[in-house]
Structure 1
Amino acid sequence: MWKVKPPIVYSKETRYRPILESLVPPDPLSQFHLRRGSPEEEFPDLKRNNTWMGRILTPAMYRRQFQRCTNSGVMFDDVIRPGLEEPGEWSDPVTVGCVAGDAETYILFCDFLDRIIEAHHKHKVTNLTPESDFNYDNLKGGDDFDRSYAVRCEVSVVRGVEDFSFPSHCSRGERRQLLTLARKALAQFEKEEGLPGRLFLLDELNQDQQNELNLKPPTSFQMRTGVARDWPDGRAVWMSKDSSLSVWVNMDDHLRLESVRDDANIAVAFKCICTNLQKLGDLYRKLRHPFVWKQQLGWVSSSPADVGTGLRISVHLKLKHLPTHTRLQEVLKRLRVCMDKTESPAVWRVSNAASFGESEVSLTQLVVDAVKLLVTMETRLEANRDIDDIVPSQK
């Protein structure tokens, strides 16, 4: 097997990211003649905001970003809009509260976004290139979960495509071009890999077909932030005939690959994602639109919550006693996973809390090990035994 070599690094991103700010015109927004007040007058009310954006943004930081915009027109207020639209509740998990309108956003607003990324992923942004490892043979376990508890698993990964704005900012024309690009890449993918499938255009599906594909209408939040603008124009999903792989186009990101298994075999699902993502990435490079990579962050897409690997590993567990245990949140924090309720009674979704700071194999191993420990805790609680001696130490 192999370790993936990082894509070509652009020289201007190799050193001293703050220097990039000096390359931007001092007042690029002045040409638009926007009717805005001063930064002090425009600063948002963040008193009840429970997002990382609300916790980190200060008037001084807002003033520094105020007159900046990317070449495609993304300004700072576009970046922080999600956190203003949904400020969150104090009892809920903290979300990032911001979004990138294009790849340049991560460079131009790096003094803000780097702090968001560090807070959310609990990992420092440095000049070192993040490790990327798709060697699925290094994964230990994942195919041996107790099926009395593990009922399902999902492995997904998101990617942004170079030279296009991200979903919250892209135009109809860009979205349609991305769909055309996906058609070409997926057609070649089927031909070269011998994995037959079918591309479904959302605007051609009736309600029964949408239900069969488990498609849900966009949320009000997606509509307000522009992610679902012009829905369902330019959206599609490719499904392999053996149901092992699905590729979502222009939904929450440019591309999202997903492998779902009802036997909870996360090792097979992870292998499916690793091999097919690599092949699809090669095809996009041949089409001269590679996936977006940033030297200090790794793979980037629209959400700072997905930088680094873009990987989300989830296992659905039947749990009765552990969800009400007083030490659950402490355990989850130390395992670096999160757990939330699913639509099924007594079934909980366990997934990685971060995607940055670890390689793909390491993140998957983290979830595999966490699931095994949580199942062990559940079996102890079923037998009225204590779990204090197997609570992990602080990492």
Structure 2
Amino acid sequence: MWKVKPLVASPVETRYRPILENLVPPDPMSHFHLKRGSPDEEFPDLCRNSTWMGKILTRAMYRRQFHRCTPSGVIFDDVIRPGLEEPGDWSTPVTVGCVAGDAQSYVLFCDFFDRVIEAHHRHKITSQTPEDDFNYDNLKGGDDLDRSYAACCEVSVVRGVEDFCFPTHCSRGERRQLLTLASRALQRLEEEQLPGRLLLLEELNQEQQRELNLNTPSSFQLRIGVARDWPDARAVWVSEDGSLVVWVNMEDHLRLVSTRDDANITEAFKCICINLQKLEEFYRRLRHPFTWKQQLGWVSSSPADVGTGLRIRVHLRLQHLPRHKRLQDVLKRLRVCMDATESPALYCVSNVATFGLSEVSLTQLVVDGVKLLVAMEKRLEGGRDIDELVPTQK
């Protein structure tokens, strides 16, 4: 298990702390005339909290963040609210338990966010700039998964848009401006030989929403603010050939999704790479590029998505492996997770981290992991052992 290191001031924090402290008023909340106690009086109860936020946050760290506020008004209590609303359970995977209200949150509260990111992604943040790799031709074996086991796949990526707060904190006006930008950028995408249509959620009836697999906001989404004013300025763009879906103003500014019923990860990844780069160029021409941070790569509202924002999901038909005693150890070594679906014997395998690997390397990790899980399932079907197939720790 990834262990949280003792609290040590990072070189980045030490370097920028004087600047950060000068950027904010002594107590920004005083402008709202809200009564707050001291940091010690306001410190949350974390004794039963199993999120990374709960594991990492200390009183000393809370005191340092307490009087900070980003220019758009994000304070530290806004950041940790998700983990307080849903503290998690020790029997379930550890969630990050925090959210960034805007891109500046990752800078202003860096001594907290950096530790959460390192713990969740199991990768050290360095001064080295993360590099993109969208060369889908370098992906090996993503087009030949055993269809007897691989039912379908999905590749998705999230992006934040520069100069706008993230969905948990943005105003109605910002959200509507983001929809206008998305409409203009997606119109350009249609002109690039990918016809599609933009559907406003407020104009869709229940049957149309079901066809799009659109669920109503959960109580958790409402509590943390991501679903405020639902469905105002929320939309989905669907390509005519069904190869690409773009969600606008849901949990993130943009989420591109490519789903394949033939479980061809290579084609789904190719679709995402090509169209994401086109949209990136269109947004740059509109003077609102996607949000990028020097040491983190692409950032959006959740620290669980920093780096690449990429998720690869493969649905596998498995009978024996889910009950095997070594399954959790295998998944940990492969750096993937496996969740049950509503369908019996159908499981969703996906990457855990999005930070520390390039897009191609991350997709390759999932492809190789899925193939190994299928090989293990075949062995168990034949009554054989899988110990010799268990990989070394990655």
* TM tier, smaller: over 0.9
Displacement, 1:35? Answer: 0.5
Q: Could you say which residue in structure 2 is the equivalent of 1:179?
A: 179
Q: Could you say which residue in structure 1 is the equivalent of 2:229?
A: 230
Displacement, 1:20? Answer: 4.1
Deviations 1:50-108 (A, max 9, x none): 10000000000000000001000000000000000000111010000000000000000
Q: Could you say which residue in structure 2 is the equivalent of 1:260?
A: 259
1:165 to 2:183 alignment: no
Q: Could you say which residue in structure 2 is the equivalent of 1:241?
A: 240
Q: Could you say which residue in structure 2 is the equivalent of 1:294?
A: 293
Q: Could you say which residue in structure 1 is the equivalent of 2:68?
A: 68
Q: Could you say which residue in structure 2 is the equivalent of 1:84?
A: 84
CA contact (8 A) 1:185 1:280 kept: yes
Q: Could you say which residue in structure 2 is the equivalent of 1:143?
A: 143
- Partners of 1:120 and 1:17 in 2: how far apart? 24
Deviations 1:319-372 (A, max 9, x none): 000001000000000000000011211100000000000000000000000000
CA contact (8 A) 2:87 2:97 kept: yes
Q: Could you say which residue in structure 2 is the equivalent of 1:376?
A: 375
CA contact (8 A) 1:309 1:360 kept: yes
- Partners of 1:161 and 1:221 in 2: how far apart? 24
Q: Could you say which residue in structure 1 is the equivalent of 2:36?
A: 36
Q: Could you say which residue in structure 1 is the equivalent of 2:304?
A: 305
- Partners of 1:387 and 1:288 in 2: how far apart? 53
- Partners of 1:291 and 1:297 in 2: how far apart? 13
**Count of aligned residue pairs for this structure pair:** 381
TM-score, length-normalised on structure 1?
0.95
Q: Which amino acid in structure 1 is aligned with residue 136 of structure 2?
A: Y
Displacement, 1:194? Answer: 1.1
CA contact (8 A) 1:20 1:107 kept: no
Deviations 1:98-140 (A, max 9, x none): 0000000000000000000000000011111012111111111
- Partners of 1:178 and 1:274 in 2: how far apart? 22
CA contact (8 A) 1:189 1:280 kept: yes
Superposition pairs of residues 208-357 of structure 1, within 5 angstroms: 208-357=207-356
- Partners of 1:237 and 1:363 in 2: how far apart? 26
CA contact (8 A) 2:316 2:347 kept: yes
Displacement, 1:26? Answer: 4.7
Q: Which amino acid in structure 2 is aligned with residue 278 of structure 1?
A: Q
- Partners of 1:18 and 1:136 in 2: how far apart? 41
Q: Which amino acid in structure 1 is aligned with residue 290 of structure 2?
A: F
Q: Which amino acid in structure 1 is aligned with residue 59 of structure 2?
A: P
CA contact (8 A) 1:162 1:290 kept: yes
Q: Could you say which residue in structure 2 is the equivalent of 1:10?
A: none
Displacement, 1:28? Answer: 4.5
Superposition pairs of residues 14-163 of structure 1, within 5 angstroms: 16-18=15-17, 20-29=19-28, 30-163=30-163
Deviations 1:4-62 (A, max 9, x none): xxxxxxxxx9x944454244235141333320000010000001001000000000000
CA contact (8 A) 2:202 2:232 kept: yes
Q: What RMSD over aligned residues (CA atoms) do the two structures have, in Å?
A: 1.2
Give me the identity figure in percent: 75
CA contact (8 A) 2:310 2:354 kept: yes
Displacement, 1:260? Answer: 0.3
Q: Which amino acid in structure 2 is aligned with residue 122 of structure 1?
A: R
- Partners of 1:348 and 1:19 in 2: how far apart? 49
- Partners of 1:18 and 1:129 in 2: how far apart? 21
Distance change in 2, residues 1:20/1:266 (3 Å): farther
- Partners of 1:132 and 1:197 in 2: how far apart? 27
Q: Which amino acid in structure 2 is aligned with residue 83 of structure 1?
A: G
- Partners of 1:96 and 1:116 in 2: how far apart? 7
- Partners of 1:78 and 1:38 in 2: how far apart? 17
Moved more, 344-353 or 32-41: 32-41
CA contact (8 A) 1:20 1:108 kept: no
CA contact (8 A) 1:239 1:247 kept: yes
CA contact (8 A) 2:292 2:299 kept: yes
- Partners of 1:127 and 1:82 in 2: how far apart? 29
Matched position secondary structure for 2:23 = coil
- Partners of 2:105 and 2:181 in 1: how far apart? 23
TM-score, length-normalised on structure 2?
0.95
- Partners of 1:273 and 1:172 in 2: how far apart? 29
- Partners of 2:18 and 2:292 in 1: how far apart? 19
CA contact (8 A) 2:24 2:70 kept: no
- Partners of 1:54 and 1:35 in 2: how far apart? 24
Matched position secondary structure for 2:276 = helix
- Partners of 1:206 and 1:58 in 2: how far apart? 47
